[in-house]
Amino acid sequence: MPFGRFKSGAASISDAVYLEVIGNLYGTTVPILIAGGCQAIVGAISVSETGDRLSAALTIVGVVVAVVRLFGVLAFRSETRRRPLRDRAEAIVWERRYAVGSFTTALIIGLFAARSLFVGDAICLVMAVGIAFGFSAGIVARLSLRPVVALLDFAAVGLPAVVATFMKAWDTPHIALGFMFLVFIAAGVEMVRLSYDNTLNQMSLKRKFEQLARIDPMTGLLNRSVLVTDLAEIVTGHGGALAAVHAIDLDHFKTANDRFGHPVGDALLRQVAARLSSLAGRSDLVVRMGGDEFIVVQRAPQSRGDAEAMAQRIFETISAPYRVGDHEIVIGASIGIALSPDHGRTVEALLSRSDAALYRAKERRGGYVFAAEPALADDDHSRQRAA
């Protein structure tokens, strides 16, 4: 059994995929209800038929554990409705809680099946073993992406029955039964491995396609679709902290594109994208809106002056000469700046007001303009930077 593949695969799971996996663990209460209900029914029948006190105790503990696990699922749902999981460390805490509950349930079912070998009732034995087999099938379905938890559960549900079988009698039927349990455990582990590989590949591909859908293929920047989600999160998720939206339009780009050709124009856009990316912070957004229009979302600038300094750096960096093949090209930039919450608290308002400010900057032939800024104060300022 290649246990190493589980370890290396687990390390390769991205944080986003891992958070999704943990969310899926708590996605349904059905397996817990089935396990607890079946154990209650079979335990009640077994105790009624045999009067075995240990079976009764295991049944009661199993039902209590099921109830506790149900409350755990409800607590997770209530918590994540208020606020999604933030990071991997928080998800690990929830995974450990789930693993403890799942392992405890597996151990109780395994001990119940083992005890049924000694109570002397064939029907009760068949029902107890049936619960163990059904729970094991659920391990494959529910825990394939958490293979360590799955392996522990398989051991807890299967090994007690194996040990009890060999303790019961050392004869051919019991030895065969014990080895049958061992083969079943090994087969279950192999099914977990196969399901793990397949599901992880599917989830990774899903995430990859989601990321590709957010990327502008020419420049490698984010595309405009991210503004609906990422900008909305920036605006609403920081308790009213300042954020700056810089709407950028390249001046004289169309002239250069017409003069030198589209391949040169495309290369020029890629160089602009690289320069913008070099200016942005790790948490900022750099977006190509289409054509020669870009947006830089500056997350949490310290002040209006900090946002203005960023606009100045953008203007100067974009306006510096470019070398594309044998051509030296000089273009400029017009920049409209909208601040949240000063100029709007929604994506639509910020984009609209930064675009209006951009239009004013273009009328003044470049430079940067703040949304809703007095025209006279901006006029000299913008022309100075365009000069």
* HEC profile of 318-333: HHCCEEECCEEECCEE
More confident residue, 28 or 245: 245
Asked if 234 and 226 touch (Cβ cutoff 8 Å), the reply is no
Q: What is the mean pLDDT of residues 89-94?
A: 90
Report CA torsion sign: 253, 258, 259, 264.
positive
Amino acid residing at 299 = R
**CA–CA gap between residue 194 and residue 177 (Å, rounded):** 26
Could you read off the pLDDT of 325-371 as tens digits, one per residue? 899 999 999 999 999 888 888 889 999 999 999 999 999 888 999 99
Strands 222-223 and 285-290: parallel
> How would you classify residue 384: left for phi > 0, otherwise alpha for psi between -120 and 50, otherwise beta?
alpha
**CA–CA gap between residue 140 and residue 196 (Å, rounded):** 9
* pLDDT for the residue 16: 76
The SS3 assignment for 359 reads helix
Dihedral of the alpha carbons of 272, 277, 279, 281, in degrees to the nearest 10:
160
More confident residue, 318 or 13: 318
Please say if the pLDDT value at position 238 is more than 70: no
Asked if 43 and 55 touch (Cβ cutoff 8 Å), the reply is yes
* Per-residue DSSP letter, 291: T
Long-range interactions of 273-276: CB distance < 8 A, separation 24+:
273/219, 273/220, 273/221, 275/317, 275/318, 276/221, 276/248, 276/314, 276/317, 276/318
Residue 367's beta-bridge partner residues?
Answer: 334
pTM over 0.75: no
Asked if 357 and 369 touch (Cβ cutoff 8 Å), the reply is yes
Residue 337's beta-bridge partner residues?
Answer: 246, 370
Could you read off the pLDDT of 105-159 as tens digits, one per residue? 999 999 999 999 888 788 888 898 888 888 888 887 777 778 888 889 988 998 9
- The full 3-state SS of 10-53, as one line of letters, equals HHHCCHHHHHHHHHHHCCCCHHHHHHHHHHHHHHHHHHHHHCCH
By the 10 Å C-beta count (0-12 exposed, 13-18 middle, 19+ buried), 182 is classed as: middle
Query: Residue 116's CB: how many other CB atoms inside 10 A?
Result: 29
* pLDDT for the residue 171: 81
Could you read off the pLDDT of 280-326 as tens digits, one per residue? 988 899 999 999 999 999 988 889 999 999 999 999 999 999 999 89
Predicted confidence band at 25 (pLDDT cuts at 50, 70, 90)? confident
Can the peptide bond before residue 147 be classed as cis, meaning omega within 30 degrees of 0?
no
